[in-house]
Structure formats: C-alpha cells, structure tokens
Amino acid sequence: MRKNKELARINILMDKEFLNKIEKFAKERSEDRSTAIRQLIKKGLRDERIELAVRRFQEGASFRKAAAIAGLEYWDFQAELDKRGIPIMDSITLAKRRIKAGL
C-alpha cells in the first residue's frame, strides 16, 4: 500500500462464514485481513462499474459516456465489450432508435 494515501477506519458486520472465507483468501495471498478486504472491495467496485457501463451502453448510452461510467479508456472499454460479444454497431443502432422514439 502506498504511504501517501490517507486511510479511514470503518466498521462493518458480516457473518462469520463469510469472514472465514476472507481470512482464508488473505492467508493465501500472504496479506492481512484489512488489505485483503480493501483489494476485494476495489475489484468489486471496478467490476460493478464496468457492468453498469455495459448495461447503460446496451440501453443506448453513448460509447464515450459508458466508458466514462466504467472509468476506462476507450480501448479498454472496447475490450470489455468484445469479451462480452457486444458489438458497437448494434448499440449505436439501438441508440438512434431511442432518440427517434423520444426515449
């Protein structure tokens, strides 16, 4: 972890079975529990932002806006769409139809 980041202490409640899974994960990575939890939250947040961006793109949001929602550069967002088999042209066509329909 970088020393220049200011950390804030938080408290959460979770069931013991889930906490044991986190402890095991941390041990496998040779990390302390706090570091493991930060890493898992960071990855989860990143993944959820990408999922939201992909969904918005499929609903007609522009490629540029969806990439911004995902927090990715254009090429990286294109790679995410490619992984999911989502062509850009179909979404653009959908967006044009939504604009014409006033949605």
Q: Where are the domains of the chain?
A: 16-101
Q: Measured between alpha carbons, how far is 80 from 2 in angstroms, rounded to an integer?
A: 28
Task: Give yes or no for residue 102 having a pLDDT over 80.
Answer: no
Per-residue pLDDT of 8-59, as tens digits, reads 999 999 999 999 999 999 999 999 999 999 999 999 999 999 999 999 999 8
Q: Measured between alpha carbons, how far is 70 from 80 in angstroms, rounded to an integer?
A: 10
57 close to 86: Cβ distance less than 8 angstroms: yes
Across 79-90, average pLDDT = 87
**What pTM was estimated for this model as a whole?**
0.73
CB atoms within 10 A of CB 23: 14
